[in-house]
């Protein structure tokens, strides 16, 4: 597929819907960040920094708000979801809770891999008495922008610099997917729960 075709694809409404849904899912129940899809798209076209990126971040913000609403109504369900997240565990939740008093809202700003947004949201909800949904949305927006935008921008830069090399797209896709697979396997292994299972904060 040519770069112009990917640019058109990146501007399509269904791609926006896909990444919006991905953003919601990652902020609530599933562990794979939208960077995986956005980065691949960005390698082919800087247009990924537009609508797809905005849709993923908006989905993440809405997902955080939905998670907060669910936690206020059924904290047991949210606790169960968090217990199933790979690479989180009690240590990860404790880490999220320790960072909040030290850094305040800046704890939500995260460059590169680290704790998932959902961990920070739940830790914040347990420490702050009924914050407004606007506050949750604002904190989630900080997290989504600092967590996702730099990664996608970096892939876009690599894609532009590598374009003169005319690398086979299939080979790029295989290397890209293998890289993410190895990264997640190593990241989740290093951060695997040890000692005690995850339990409510």
**Residue extents of the structural domains in the chain:** 3-190
Both tokens of residue 20? 């919006």
pTM of the full predicted structure?
0.88
Comparing 32-36, 86-90, 120-124, which segment has the lowest mean pLDDT? 86-90
For the chain, the average pLDDT equals 87
Predicted pLDDT of residue 190:
81
Predicted pLDDT of residue 114:
83
In this structure, what DSSP letter does residue 116 have?
-
pLDDT, tens digit, 9 for 90 and up, residues 156-189: 999 888 888 877 778 888 999 999 899 888 888 8
Q: Stretch 147-159: mean pLDDT, rounded?
A: 92
pLDDT, tens digit, 9 for 90 and up, residues 89-128: 778 888 888 888 888 888 899 887 788 999 999 999 988 8
Burial class (CB in 10 A: 0-12, 13-18, 19+), 85: buried
pLDDT band at 23 (very low <50, low <70, confident <90, very high): very high
**What distances in angstroms separate CA 149 from CA 7, 42, 58, 170, one per listed residue?**
18, 11, 12, 25
Rg of the chain over Cα atoms, rounded to whole angstroms, equals 18
* Closest by Cα among 123, 110, 8, 113 to 68: 123
The answer to whether the CB of 71 falls within 8 A of the CB of 173 is no
Between 178 and 6, residue with greater pLDDT = 178
The answer to whether the CB of 145 falls within 8 A of the CB of 65 is no
In this structure, what DSSP letter does residue 199 have?
-
pLDDT, tens digit, 9 for 90 and up, residues 7-21: 777 788 899 999 999
Q: Stretch 137-164: mean pLDDT, rounded?
A: 92
Block residue for tokens 């409510």: 200
Block residue for tokens 């003169």: 164
Q: Stretch 125-136: mean pLDDT, rounded?
A: 89
* Closest by Cα among 185, 186, 176, 171 to 39: 176
The answer to whether the CB of 55 falls within 8 A of the CB of 23 is yes
């Amino acid at each position: 597929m040519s770069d112009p075709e990917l640019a058109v694809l990146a501007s399509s409404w269904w791609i926006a819907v896909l990444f919006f849904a991905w953003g919601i899912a990652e902020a609530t129940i599933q562990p794979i960040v939208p960077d995986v899809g956005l980065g691949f798209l960005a390698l082919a076209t800087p247009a990924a920094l537009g609508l797809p990126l905005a849709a993923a971040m908006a989905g993440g913000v809405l997902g955080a708000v939905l998670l907060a609403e669910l936690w206020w109504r059924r904290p047991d369900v949210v606790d169960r979801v968090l217990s199933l997240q790979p690479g989180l565990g009690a240590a990860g939740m404790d880490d999220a809770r320790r960072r909040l008093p030290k850094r305040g809202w800046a704890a939500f700003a995260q460059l590169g891999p680290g704790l998932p947004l959902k961990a920070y949201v739940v830790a914040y909800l347990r420490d702050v008495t009924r914050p407004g949904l606007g506050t949750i949305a604002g904190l989630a927006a900080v997290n989504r922008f600092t967590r996702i935008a730099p990664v996608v921008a970096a892939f876009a830069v690599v894609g532009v610099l590598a374009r003169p090399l005319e690398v086979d797209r299939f080979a790029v896709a295989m290397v890209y997917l293998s890289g993410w697979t190895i990264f997640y396997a190593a990241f989740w292994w290093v951060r695997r729960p040890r000692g005690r299972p995850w339990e409510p904060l």
